[in-house]
């Protein structure tokens, strides 16, 4: 059976002329990424909504002592590219030796137009009739032999999630006649035969098109001939699917889902930190468990001994241990490399990262997110977007970096600019939210709600302004709605593990480096001069103490660390709210900053940052002068 060569795996950005022995091609959300993982053993993040794979992923499959290069192309509805992901898929088809066309067996008629376009390329090809188990459950019977005869290529029923039919699929693919080589038409995607959905455009002129009416007529004939629908009762899942996008019930479902999600994140996060079980106020039950107790019991005695050896007040003591609070180490306030530098990412932030990505994974894999996109479509249009922009926005709530990267699934440059700008300004990442809930939550629930409310209003206002000031085409929402599915706990655990390890690899070095830099700047009194220069804005306009300039600067590296640095400043509730809002909006963290330049380009990234500077000064000043006292 297939064996993965993980060393050869590397998710990559768009690049042309990548040769593959086997190329997986299909429309979004047909299970290509799951099938790729099943064939190569390489883990990819697969979700129950379109657009999970916006670039391509390559890996190797070992079968019968031979090694084959396998590439998972991004989903595309047609060989006439309509967005960046589709163009990548078309480029990959040119260099592929064999193609596996992955088709959703529950919606055969929607997928056969792409199948007909792929067949027209003349490449050796097999059709994987994926999700065959769901088709059976829905009373859909497909005559596979007759379908293969009509298409003129092998058709293999598969269930990528369980591995059913995958070995037969590999055998059929490797048995293809490689002498059947596709036509050479210059290598440009627009030179291939395709259905001209959008006939306007120079790249499609002068080349052979497949008549759209003729293609759909053939699809209809094939479906009528090979597919039989048996009587099927409406299930609870199907009833819930309809309620999720209903104008009235959809709102109630959204409120219910988001409220339950927030409660789950809070309960799991607080339990992992302190062993307490509760939603607000004191825990209902408290167990001797959590990262706080682990640091107090196992790490603090070691650090106190090291503190004695280094001597309080010495340079090395301030660097590694930090300041003693009442003669003791305070892991949130001491700010040494081995105290706060380890506790903040591992003890305070990581538990909420785990809980957030666990809940997000459930929402992804059940298929709720695309329904939320449809339900919010009208609201998002008021921001110059459509409902699908909610998916990168929700990903931004986990981490702004994948959120900005996910804007690739949007069709136009204008949409990507607006969405990336809104994410970097008004969508706090999970680590920042964890610190806001932890630090501001100690003063009550309403200051936390006020911060989220202000950021939401900022998100709406900037979106409306950008809608009227940004030029460009505003497309409608065209999205495939998958059925609700029970999440696979194995896939959920795998995805959670990948995201946690990714966070640790990225965050831990940055946090330690930030603590070192801040520590040294403090010890050499550099912050005194910076604070003096920034005093007119920080102290006069925002009403914050001059010492708050240090967290604001550290926020460029890690905003969660910066929020933690507010703790020893004894801020009032008003100052804490202003500081949290300003930090959330002020300059994206360095990782998001780099990704914005890569995704938007120099000009749009600078425009986005300029909007951010203007917005944060106005909003911080407005809160300070409108809040009495």
pLDDT tens digits for range 115-132:
998 898 888 999 999 988
**Residue 617 tokens, joined:** 């000064």
Whether 436 contacts 396, CB under 8 Å: no
Mean pLDDT, range 353-379, rounded to an integer: 82
Please report which confidence band the pLDDT of residue 96 belongs to, taking 50, 70 and 90 as the band edges.
Answer: confident
Highest mean pLDDT among 86-100, 253-267, 304-318: 304-318
User: Could you tell me the CA-to-CA distances from 43 to 9, 74, 257, 495 in Å, in that order?
Assistant: 9, 16, 28, 8
In this predicted structure, what is the pLDDT of residue 42? 64
Q: What is the DSSP letter of 325?
A: B
Report how far residue 146's alpha carbon sits from residue 126's, in angstroms, rounded to the nearest whole number: 14
- Give yes or no for residue 165 having a pLDDT over 90: no
In this predicted structure, what is the pLDDT of residue 396? 79
Is pLDDT larger for residue 579 or for residue 34?
A: 579
Pairing of strands 140-142, 227-229: antiparallel
In this predicted structure, what is the pLDDT of residue 625? 92
Q: Where are the alpha helices (H) located in 526-572, listed in sequence order? A: 526-535, 549-554, 559-564
In this predicted structure, what is the pLDDT of residue 242? 76
In this predicted structure, what is the pLDDT of residue 510? 66
Residue 594: is it exposed, middle or buried by C-beta count within 10 angstroms (0-12/13-18/19+)? Answer: middle
In this predicted structure, what is the pLDDT of residue 297? 93
Q: What contacts 28, CB < 8 A, 6 or more positions away?
A: 50, 51, 52, 74, 75, 76, 77, 480
Mean pLDDT lowest among 227-241, 443-457, 465-479: 465-479
Q: Which fold has domain 22-176+210-229?
A: Rossmann fold (3.40.50)
Which residues are paired to 282 by β-bridges?
none
In this predicted structure, what is the pLDDT of residue 401? 72
- Give yes or no for residue 247 having a pLDDT over 60: yes
Query: Where are the chain's structural domains?
Result: 22-176+210-229, 256-626
Is pLDDT larger for residue 57 or for residue 612?
A: 612
168-193 core/surface letters (b: 16 or more CB in 10 A; e: else):
ebbebbbebeeeeebeeeeeebbbbb
Please report which confidence band the pLDDT of residue 4 belongs to, taking 50, 70 and 90 as the band edges.
Answer: very low
- 312-316: long-range contacts, CB 8 A cutoff, minimum separation 24: 315/523
Mean pLDDT, range 259-281, rounded to an integer: 80
Report how far residue 352's alpha carbon sits from residue 435's, in angstroms, rounded to the nearest whole number: 9
- Percent of the chain scoring above 70 in pLDDT: 83
User: Could you tell me the CA-to-CA distances from 335 to 309, 318, 338, 358, 477 in Å, in that order?
Assistant: 18, 8, 8, 30, 48
Whether 273 contacts 351, CB under 8 Å: yes
- Three-class SS string for 409-472? HCCCHHHHHHHHHHHHHHCCCHHHHHHHHHHHHHHCHHHHHHHHHHHHHHHHHHHHHHHHHCCC
In this predicted structure, what is the pLDDT of residue 186? 44
Chain segment 175-209, per-residue pLDDT in tens: 998 865 544 444 444 456 777 665 544 444 545 67
| Virtual torsion, Cα 349, 354, 357, 361, nearest 10 deg | 180
Chain segment 283-306, per-residue pLDDT in tens: 788 888 889 899 999 999 999 999
Highest mean pLDDT among 196-210, 464-478, 542-556: 542-556
Q: What is the DSSP letter of 176?
A: S
Highest mean pLDDT among 245-249, 336-340, 565-569: 336-340
């Amino acid at each position: 059976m297939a064996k993965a060569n993980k060393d050869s795996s590397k998710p990559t950005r768009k690049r042309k002329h990548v040769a593959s022995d086997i190329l997986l091609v299909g429309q979004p959300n047909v299970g290509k990424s799951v099938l790729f993982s099943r064939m190569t053993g390489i883990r990819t993040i697969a979700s129950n909504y379109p657009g999970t794979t916006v670039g391509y992923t390559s890996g190797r499959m070992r079968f019968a002592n031979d090694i084959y290069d396998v590439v998972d192309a991004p989903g595309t509805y047609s060989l006439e590219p309509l967005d960046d992901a589709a163009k990548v898929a078309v480029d990959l088809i040119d260099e592929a030796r064999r193609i596996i066309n992955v088709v959703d067996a529950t919606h055969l008629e929607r997928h056969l137009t792409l199948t007909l376009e792929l067949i027209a390329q003349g490449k050796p090809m097999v059709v994987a009739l994926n999700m065959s188990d769901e088709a059976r459950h829905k009373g859909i019977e497909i005559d596979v032999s007759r379908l293969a005869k009509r298409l003129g290529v092998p058709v293999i029923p598969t269930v990528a999630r369980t591995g059913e039919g995958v070995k037969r699929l590999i055998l059929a693919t490797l048995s293809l006649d490689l002498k059947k080589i596709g036509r050479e038409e210059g290598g440009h995607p627009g030179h291939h035969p395709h259905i001209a959905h959008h006939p306007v455009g120079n790249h499609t002129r002068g080349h052979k098109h497949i008549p759209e009416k003729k293609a759909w007529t053939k699809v209809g004939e094939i479906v009528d001939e090979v597919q039989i629908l048996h009587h099927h009762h409406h299930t609870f899942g199907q009833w819930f699917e309809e309620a999720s996008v209903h104008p009235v019930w959809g709102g109630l479902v959204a409120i219910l889902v988001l409220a339950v999600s927030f409660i789950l994140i809070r309960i799991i996060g607080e339990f992992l930190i302190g062993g307490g079980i509760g939603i607000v106020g004191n825990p209902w039950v408290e167990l001797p468990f959590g990262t706080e107790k682990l640091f107090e019991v196992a790490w603090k005695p070691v650090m106190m001994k090291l503190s004695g050896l280094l001597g309080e007040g010495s340079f090395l003591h301030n660097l590694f241990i930090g300041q003693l609070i009442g003669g003791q180490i305070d892991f949130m306030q001491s700010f040494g490399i081995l105290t706060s530098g380890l506790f903040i990412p591992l003890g305070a932030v990581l538990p909420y990262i785990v809980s957030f990505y666990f809940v997000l994974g459930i929402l992804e894999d059940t298929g709720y997110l695309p329904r939320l996109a449809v339900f919010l479509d009208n609201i998002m249009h008021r921001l110059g977007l459509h409902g699908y922009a909610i998916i990168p926005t929700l990903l931004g709530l986990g981490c702004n970096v994948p959120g900005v990267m996910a804007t690739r699934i949007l069709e136009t440059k204008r949409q990507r600019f607006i969405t990336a700008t809104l994410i970097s300004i008004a969508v706090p990442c999970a680590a920042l939210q964890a610190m806001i809930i932890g630090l501001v939550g100690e003063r009550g629930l309403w200051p936390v709600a006020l911060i989220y409310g202000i950021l939401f209003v900022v998100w709406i206002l900037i979106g409306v302004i950008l809608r009227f000031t940004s030029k460009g085409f505003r497309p409608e929402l065209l999205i495939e709605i998958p059925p609700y599915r029970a999440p696979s706990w194995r896939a959920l655990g795998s995805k959670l593990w990948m995201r946690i390890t990714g966070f640790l690899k990225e965050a831990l070095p940055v946090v330690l480096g930030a603590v070192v830099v801040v520590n040294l700047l403090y010890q050499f009194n550099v912050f005194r001069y910076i604070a003096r220069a920034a005093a007119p804005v920080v102290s006069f306009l925002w009403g914050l103490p001059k010492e708050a300039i240090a967290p604001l600067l550290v926020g460029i590296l890690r905003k969660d660390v910066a929020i933690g640095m507010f703790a020893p400043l004894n801020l009032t509730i008003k100052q804490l709210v202003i500081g949290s809002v300003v930090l959330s909006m002020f300059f994206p963290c360095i990782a998001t900053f780099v990704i914005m330049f890569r995704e938007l380009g120099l000009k749009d990234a600078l425009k986005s940052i300029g909007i951010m500077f203007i917005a944060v000064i106005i909003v911080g000043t407005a809160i300070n002068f409108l809040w009495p006292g």
